[in-house]
Structures are given as structure tokens and as C-alpha cells.
Chain A
Amino acid sequence: AQTVTQSQPEMSVQEAETVTLSCTYDTSESDYYLFWYKQPPSRQMILVIRQEAYKQQNATENRFSVNFQKAAKSFSLKISDSQLGDAAMYFCAYMALGDDKIIFGKGTRLHILP
């Protein structure tokens, strides 16, 4: 069975600094997608960034980038120039190719210190 593990329940970062959230996963599949979702206090789940496993190049979306290490089954999220609006719960997630079932990690609560 596929699993997603986030080992950091909470993290804090100073505004304008850079922070990296860790995620590891386990799967026997070779084709899959990985995601980072953000859930602010409003509870609305927002997709931050996604990575297709067949792509070696790490995905980037503005201040958000990932470090995808397929052999190590690691998928970390780097947030640069942290902003107060980045404060939220961040979930790492996995989805097998052709599936609609997302498997989520337990989440990392990110605090931004002004």
C-alpha cells in the first residue's frame, strides 16, 4: 500500500526567509503524481505544486519549488521569501497514474514569524 510521511508536524520561519518542508512516500508504482496542497485556516484546500514522476526536472511555481528524488522517494517543498499569507497547513500527497484517489500525509503546520 502507498503511504506518505511528513515527519515535521510544525515548523516556523521568519518572514522573507526560506523554509523546506520534508516528505517521503512509499510506492511500488513507477508512474504517479506528487502534490503539495496548502490548507489555510479557511480550510480551502489549494494545490501549490505538482510533480509528474516521469519528469526528472523539479517543478517550480513562483516562490515554491520541489526537490524530487525518485530513487529516495523523497519530495520536499521549498518556499522562498516566505510571506505571512503562506501560514497554513501543508499536505504532501500522492496519486497513482490513472487513479483519482489521493493519499495524503499528516501535514506540516507552517508558522510565519513577522
Chain B
Amino acid sequence: KAGVTQTPRYLIKTRGQQVTLSCSPISGHRSVSWYQQTPGQGLQFLFEYFSETQRNKGNFPGRFSGRQFSNSRSEMNVSTLELGDSALYLCASSQPGLINEQFFGPGTRLTVL
């Protein structure tokens, strides 16, 4: 079974631009969660989607948004990029019914200049 995939792996943007990151979960997994990883703040939960609905949201500004499609693939969007948005963005998928063990993708490294 293929693991969680994230595209692109690396991205460079400038302040003020917007960016869209993609995450494809493991086949059969319907929940996708997003995390931001920075040296200063560590790993922080962004949001979680299940069956196309956002079920949980972390403490991030409204510039961070996401969605999930009917095939469980998820996208995360950041508008009006700031330098502080430079981070590794990880997504994780899980299968309902188990203990919600989350399987992580390799991440997208976003650099904002």
C-alpha cells in the first residue's frame, strides 16, 4: 500500500503570494490532518478533515485554510504569505475505527522570501 504523499516537496514563494499544498492519504484513509513544523514553535496542529468536513482546527489565522475532496485528498492553502510561514508542512492520514494512528507524509518545505 502506498504511503502518504505530499506535493510539492519544496516550494519557494515571496511575501504576499499565496500557496496551495497537496496531500494524498493512504488508500482507504478518510481523515487527513495538517501540521506546521518550525524550529521555534515545533509541531503545531493546523486542522483535520474527515469526509470533506473540517472537524478540528488549531490556533492559526484565517489565512490558513484547507479542504478535502471526495477521494479524501486534501489541500492546504495559505494566502498573503508572511516570512514566518516558512516551515515544513506535514500531513497525516488515519483510518477511522482504529486508534487513529496517524501516518505522516514526507512534508512540503515552504520557504517565504
Instruction: Give A contacts to B, CB under 8 Å.
Output: 33, 37, 42-47, 50, 52, 91, 95, 98-107
Residues of A within 8 A of B109 (CB): 43
Give the most central of A46, A47, A102, A105: most B CB within 10 Å: A102
Q: Secondary structure at chain B's binding surface: helix, strand, loop or mixed?
A: strand
Q: How far is the CA of A43 from the CA of B110 in the complex (A)?
A: 14
Residues from chain A with Cβ under 8 Å of B104 in the complex = 37, 44-46
Which residue of chain B is the closest to A45 with respect to CB atoms? B104
CB distance from B33 to the nearest CB of A (A): 5
B: contact size bracket:
20 to 34
Do residues A99 and B100 form an inter-chain contact, with CB atoms below 8 A?
A: yes
Q: Are A52 and B99 in contact (CB under 8 A)?
A: yes
A10-B35 Cα distance, complex, nearest whole Å: 23
Chain B residue numbers with a CB within 8 Å of A91 are: 43
- Known contacts: A43-B107, A44-B106. The answer to whether A102 contacts B101 by CB under 8 A is no
Interface string of B40-58 (1 = CB under 8 A from A): 0011110010100001101
By a CB distance below 8 angstroms, the chain A residues around B31 are 100
**Majority SS at the chain A contact face:** loop
Residues 89 to 104 of chain B near chain A (Cβ within 8 Å): 90, 92, 94, 99-104
A50 touches B102 (CB 8 A): no
What are 9 A-B pairs with beta-carbon distances under 8 A?
A43-B106, A43-B109, A44-B107, A47-B101, A50-B99, A102-B35, A102-B102, A104-B44, A106-B42
